[in-house]
Chain A
Amino acid sequence: MRRLLFTATTLLLSANAAALELESILERAMVTPPARVGFQEERHNALFEEPLRLTGYLEYLEDGELRKVIETPFAEAFHVRSDHVEIERDGETQVLPIRKSRSLKVMLGGIEAILAGDTERIGKVFVHELSGTESDWSMRLTPRSKRVARQLTALTVTGGGDAVTGIRFDLGNGEWHQMELLPDPTEQ
């Protein structure tokens, strides 16, 4: 009985330790808008012989507003506002209401929660798994929703010190996107 109690207490303590660790990592990696980082991205899927390589920058403009701007090999922008997404291509803008795309809402909400260091919101959307050290950590997030999981198997965020350095999106069927985050070139 005593042994059982000891085991349960240890388990509880270790769970608490993990939560604290997540909080501290996110607190240090937290981004306050407005903020901007560069990125290099590789997109792998069954149709590609070699990955599609993209470069550009990400902007966290304000709460609920994110922007991904692709600069090479072509120009394209993906602007997330509170209730809709704008896709800019060839000088034209296409608008998609987020309300109608639940999975998109969940995914974008999850990313924003990471940027904002909102552990409670992350916990609602994802199951998290931490590994590594404080200077070189990796956080694997698995969607709680079965429907979202059909489109996003896992989201892996890596970082070191006080910054997120990379995000990997696994979409299933051998499709994955790896995004490396770079310091904003305009700040250098």
Chain B
Amino acid sequence: MNTGSPMRKSLPWLLLGIVAVGILATRLHLSFDISAFFPATPDLQHRVLLQQFQSGPGSRLLVIGIGGADEEALADASEAMQIALSDHPAFTAVMNGEVAEDSAGPPEPIASYYLLMQDIDYGAEALSDAIQARLQDLALGGGATLLDLIARDPYLATLDIAQRLAPVEMHGDMWFAGDGSAVLMAETRATAVDIAGQTAAVEAVRDALASIDGHDALRLEMTGAGPFAVELQETIRAEAQKRSILATAALLLVLFAFYRKPAYLLLAAAPIGMGFLVGLAAVALLFSNVHGVTLAFGFTLMGVAIDYPLHLFSHAERSDGRTAIGRIWPTMRLGAISTIVAYIALAFSGSAGLAQLGVFTAVGIATAVLVTRTWVPHFVSGGRGDAAATSGVAPRSLRFLPAVGLAGIALVAINQVTIEGLWDDRLTSLSPVPAERVADDNRLRSAAGTPDMRYQLFLHAPSLDALLSRGEEVDALLTTAEQDGLLDAWQSLTQVLPQGATQAARQEAIPDRAVLRGNLDNALVGTPFRADAFDAFLEGAERARFLTPLTADDFRNTPLQSWRDSKLVLAGDTWVSLLSLRNPQAEALRQRIETWGDDIAMLDLHESSVALMRDYRNGALTTVAFAALIIIALLWQQRRQLSQVLWIALSVSAGLVMTIAVVVAVHSQLTVIHLVALLLVLGLGLDYSLFLGRTESADERAATNKAVLACAVSTTLAFGILAGSSIPVLKFLGLTVAAGSACSYLVALAGTRARM
């Protein structure tokens, strides 16, 4: 073997590798935001929904549970954590259910504007009723907080407003979950997708606990979108490491078993490694963040890229590497281009996550096949044998069709007959967060009584003023609906931010100080209250008469800012108000709302997310079907033999149908991830069919058989290891490709063994 030439041939690839590493070192930013795999949708409702999911206030809520001690010790720990974390820059608010002594009053802007937030009767009779009710309150309760509140607001209007709007129940007592754990809710400054920010928040919580006396005995739990993302990062890293080591070991074993040349182990790594590096560098260049799942999909690339050197090694047993690659290159090239076409189609499927996968795999495969073509052959020493040009008859048949037909009929039946159907379109089916962690989250959150967010009203208008005006009309309609028993309560922006005209009318309704003083004096007659007990209320009312009307901007830097952000969204140039509903009679309320106009709709977040995924899946299917047509055209352009093209198309389709049958039997239903994995199976099936369907001599046939068997065994083994992962995305991918590789091989083999 001429060693000078191979070294020279290596240089460009080595340089490319160095450039790729340079790009990765400077531009690789990892992200673990699963919503990157959600579709980019033009629909306004879905856009707002995804925006809320990614960065809405709910996504910034970090739920802390502390257990492992008696209630008193846990209460002490909860208080210490609340104090420590409240001053930490990672958090905007930290609550444990208690109302702090020094901030016992209602939060701004409610404290200043409460008299403009609802209609109040300042007449002598109404005031007298209110004073009497407060007297009865003081016959049972007491304490500085209640006294202060009554003095400032004898109507307790602030309490009504605060309770109606509370994202959590703030009744003044510490939150404890059903299992006895003390619960805190911390709102992080970072959004859930900001992993660095969330990691800092999680560490701050751990540090705060570590500074508590006797912390060793305490058990800390953290849930919420942020902590889950941090955990996911750690899990994906650990899973990817563990399973890649196992898969690599399995591949090495297969390689050695088939070829018994240690050098081949290194040579096989070259196309895979270069493909991975260059593919990842391309993603890093084209996208601002590289998703962790894209990295995990490095396995996908390995599954296809390993095939190229295996074909070369098998065929080089009877000739040197360069001659061998020359003979198989047209087939290999056709298989690679077809697979690349399928993955490029994925890049246009409409989600950033899948686009990354498409680019990564397409570039990776192109690199791997070129490395196999131009670099590896120089290091493969030749064997002896018949290197003659091909002749003979292609041993093809369609004997696999009846079995595959049955599997296809079964799938159609599953899709039509079962209630769930073939597809699982729940957003949660893709969620890598284990079900038990979601249950932990629900257990802790229930302590703070967070409302069910499934149903929301979606109101939109071209301007904020129009939105507020319309919002008040909707509040009035909802009041009637509440009286009719269609829902228990609701939260709307206009409950704290009425339109300017309404605020002005409420200011007009506040009597001047002298009139109000007179009404109050009458109301106090016959009660034990001091004459000056309600001076704070009189001062507040007088101030409210001359306040500048409250605007959306006045919520900034107040405890209600995140509440406003969850209710008011500017999407493009449309103002959107989201109203959350408590215990609605969903169907009856939906029918009522349909009569209220085109600018309002009732969103069922579960239904919406399912519809979103269904549209997404259908879009992806269309893209794949389009890619399949291009591939068939490509096959026709290369082979020009109808029977050959038809055989390849049928055997690949048959492999896919059998794979789907196996996956459905094991996972019950298919998700978008299965669909992506099926693209890889398509690539593998093409590769196997193209090689096994080649017209070649008996010697070459033996080499081809060995190569395809090695490919199928290695891929099935490597992806079988992945199928055992605890992360749904990896598990789905693993099983589909492992089953797909085996099925595609068996189908192609059955189709070629007929006449052998």
Contact = CB atoms under 8 A, between A and B. Distances in A.
Nearest to B448: A100
State which size class the interface on A falls in: 20 to 34
B138 interface: yes
A147 B172 CA distance: 11
A49 B533 CA distance: 9
Interface in A150-171: 150-151, 171
Interface in A36-79: 43, 45-52, 54, 68, 70, 74, 76, 78
Contacts of A78: 140
A52 B171 contact: no
A54 B173 contact: no
B270 interface: no
B143 A49 contact: no
B100 to A, nearest CB: 11
Contacts of B174: 102, 147
Nearest to B79: A147
A32 interface: no
A175 B151 CA distance: 15
B139 A52 contact: yes
Q: Chain A interface secondary structure, helix, strand, loop or mixed?
A: mixed
Interface string A92-122: 0000000111111000000000000000000
Contact of B530 (A47, A54, A150, A171): A47
A104 B140 CA distance: 12
A150 B101 contact: yes
A70 B140 CA distance: 9
A175 B143 contact: yes
B530 A147 contact: no
Contacts of B140: 68, 76, 78, 87
A64 B169 CA distance: 26
B637 to A, nearest CB: 72
B143 A151 contact: yes
A16 interface: no
A74 B98 CA distance: 31
A114 to B, nearest CB: 20
A172 interface: yes
A50 to B, nearest CB: 5
B538 interface: no
A89 interface: yes
Contact of B529 (A49, A70, A87, A144): A49
A173 B533 CA distance: 15
Contact of B151 (A47, A89, A103, A145): A47
A115 to B, nearest CB: 19
Contacts of B530: 47-49
A84 interface: no
Given A50-B528, A52-B528, A147-B75, A43 B150 contact: no
Contacts of A81: none
A54 B144 contact: no
A65 B645 CA distance: 84
Given A100-B169, A150-B101, A145 B142 contact: no
B507 to A, nearest CB: 27
A171 B150 contact: no
B176 interface: yes
Q: Which of B142, B150, B176 has the most CB of A within 10 A?
A: B142
A52 B138 contact: yes
A140 interface: no
Interface in B135-155: 135-136, 138-140, 142-144, 147, 150-151
Contacts of B150: 47
A101 B173 contact: yes
B484 interface: no
Given A102-B71, A102-B174, A145-B75, A175 B147 contact: yes
Contacts of A172: 144
A49 B169 contact: no
Contacts of B172: 101
5 contacts: A47-B530, A48-B528, A49-B530, A74-B132, A175-B147
Closest 4 interchain pairs by CB?
A47-B533, A49-B530, A48-B528, A101-B173
Interface of B: 71-72, 75-76, 79, 98, 101, 132, 135-136, 138-140, 142-144, 147, 150-151, 169, 171-174, 176, 528-531, 533
Interface of A: 43, 45-52, 54, 68, 70, 74, 76, 78, 87, 89, 99-104, 144-147, 150-151, 171-173, 175, 177
Given A74-B135, A175-B143, A175-B144, 19 more contacts: A43-B138, A43-B139, A43-B142, A46-B147, A47-B150, A47-B151, A47-B530, A50-B528, A52-B139, A89-B136, A100-B169, A100-B173, A101-B173, A102-B174, A147-B75, A171-B143, A173-B147, A175-B142, A177-B142
